């Protein structure tokens, strides 16, 4: 598609030249002026083509992300198992496609309670059981007293930092999740190795700094603990 558009620049320029020549053909019959105009137009044509082509190229060029990411949606339905409530919505691998998705879907503040968004590297399912997550954990913040605007902003900022690869040890990052709940919405960043203390702490400190969390506490919970300690009181192995 990109190259089709790129080539259109030349076509537009050529048709512009033809139109100019056609208009000029109906002129006052001054042959010298006609020839001078034709010569000048021919001389300018290559630069005009280049300008039009580069405008077209800039308009069709998308900025690639380091990874392809998949957006998942989870919605509570008592008739289904937890994993059956998950659906894979779409994937994106450019900045432009990310924003098309981001502005198309509802912000977390417009979601009903017991709805989640998950954005994970393509190929990783947003669940404890996935091979890449099974030895991992998450940095999680509990947003109970915070405004909906702040929750939307934190989600937006964490998404951008994650897909924009702002974290050191970004190979450790699996994805991000927001759980919209009555008691406290939760935003988390999932990492793949809960034994890699150095990477976990570097990621947590960066998250705290980039999102300007100050008083908001971050807790690192291991997925294997979450599997057996269902409920809000999962042990945190690090707190920042
Ligand atoms: P939750 O949706 O992460 O938190 O987990 P919520 O709703 O705030 O509840 P709380 O328990 O943290 O207070 C709720 C429940 O969903 C868990 O107890 C599991 O039963 C199920 N669940 C959540 N996750 C992330 C998974 C998962 O990855 N795999 C499976 N099998 N079940 C999960």
Tens digit of each residue's pLDDT (9 = 90 or more) over 67-81: 999 999 999 998 999
Which residue ranges of the chain lie beneath pLDDT 70? 1-32, 52, 54-59
Phi-psi region of 137 (alpha: psi -120 to 50; beta: other; left: phi over 0): beta
Query: How many other C-beta atoms lie within 10 A of the C-beta of residue 140?
Result: 20
Give the full edge-to-edge strand order of the sheet including 219-222.
86-94, 64-75, 115-121, 173-180, 185-191, 137-143, 219-222, 236-239
Pocket mutation for ligand 1, best pick of 186, 226, 233, 234 (most atoms within 8 Å of C-beta): 226
Domain 64-239: give its CATH code: 3.30.760.10
Ligand 1 lined by 232 (C-beta under 6 Å): yes
Task: With beta carbons less than 8 A apart as the criterion, state whether 167 and 157 touch.
Answer: no
For 77, which DSSP code? -
pTM: 0.79
Nearest Cα residue to atom 17 of ligand 1: 230
- Domain span(s) for CATH 3.30.760.10 in the chain: 64-239
Q: Is 121 helix (H, G, I), strand (E, B) or coil?
A: strand
Closest listed residue to residue 173, CA positions, set 144, 132, 145: 132
Ligand 1 lined by 127 (C-beta under 6 Å): yes
For 78, which DSSP code? T
Residues 6+ apart with CB under 8 A from 178: 108, 116, 117, 118, 151, 155, 185, 186, 187, 188
Question: CA-to-CA distance for 222 and 14, rounded, in angstroms?
Answer: 63
Q: Is 13 helix (H, G, I), strand (E, B) or coil?
A: helix
What is the atom index within ligand 1 of the atom nearest the CA of 127? 28
Residue 56's pLDDT is what? 66
Give the C-alpha distances (Å, rounded to integers) separating 19 from 28, 64, 148, 224.
Answer: 17, 38, 56, 71
Task: With beta carbons less than 8 A apart as the criterion, state whether 189 and 221 touch.
Answer: no
Give the C-alpha distances (Å, rounded to integers) separating 202 from 8, 172, 221, 238.
Answer: 48, 11, 15, 12
Residues 6+ apart with CB under 8 A from 77: 84, 85
Strand 219-222 and strand 185-191: the pairing is unpaired
Residue 59's pLDDT is what? 63
The Å distance, Cα 206 to ligand 1 centre, comes to: 26
What is the atom index within ligand 1 of the atom nearest the CA of 183? 8
């Amino acid at each position: 598609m990109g190259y089709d558009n790129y080539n259109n620049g030349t076509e537009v320029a050529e048709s512009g030249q033809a139109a100019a020549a056609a208009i000029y053909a109906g002129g006052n019959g001054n042959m010298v002026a006609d020839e001078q105009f034709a010569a000048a137009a021919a001389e300018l044509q290559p630069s005009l083509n280049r300008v039009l082509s580069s405008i077209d190229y800039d308009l069709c060029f998308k900025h690639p992300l380091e990874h392809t990411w998949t957006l998942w949606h989870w919605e509570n339905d008592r008739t289904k198992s937890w994993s059956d409530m998950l659906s894979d919505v779409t994937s994106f691998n450019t900045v432009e496609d990310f924003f098309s998705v981001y502005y198309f879907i509802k912000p977390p503040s417009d979601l009903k309670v017991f709805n989640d968004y998950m954005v994970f590297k393509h190929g990783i399912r947003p669940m404890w059981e996935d091979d890449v997550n099974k030895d991992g954990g998450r940095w999680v913040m509990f947003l109970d007293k915070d405004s909906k605007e702040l929750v939307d902003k934190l989600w937006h900022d964490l998404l951008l930092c994650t897909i924009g690869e702002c974290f050191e040890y970004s190979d450790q990052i699996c994805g991000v999740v927001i759980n919209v709940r009555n008691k406290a919405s939760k935003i988390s960043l999932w990492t793949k190795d809960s034994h890699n203390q150095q990477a976990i702490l570097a990621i947590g400190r960066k998250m705290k700094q980039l999102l300007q969390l100050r008083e908001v506490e971050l807790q690192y919970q291991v997925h294997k603990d979450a599997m057996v300690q269902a409920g809000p009181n999962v042990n945190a192995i690090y707190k920042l």
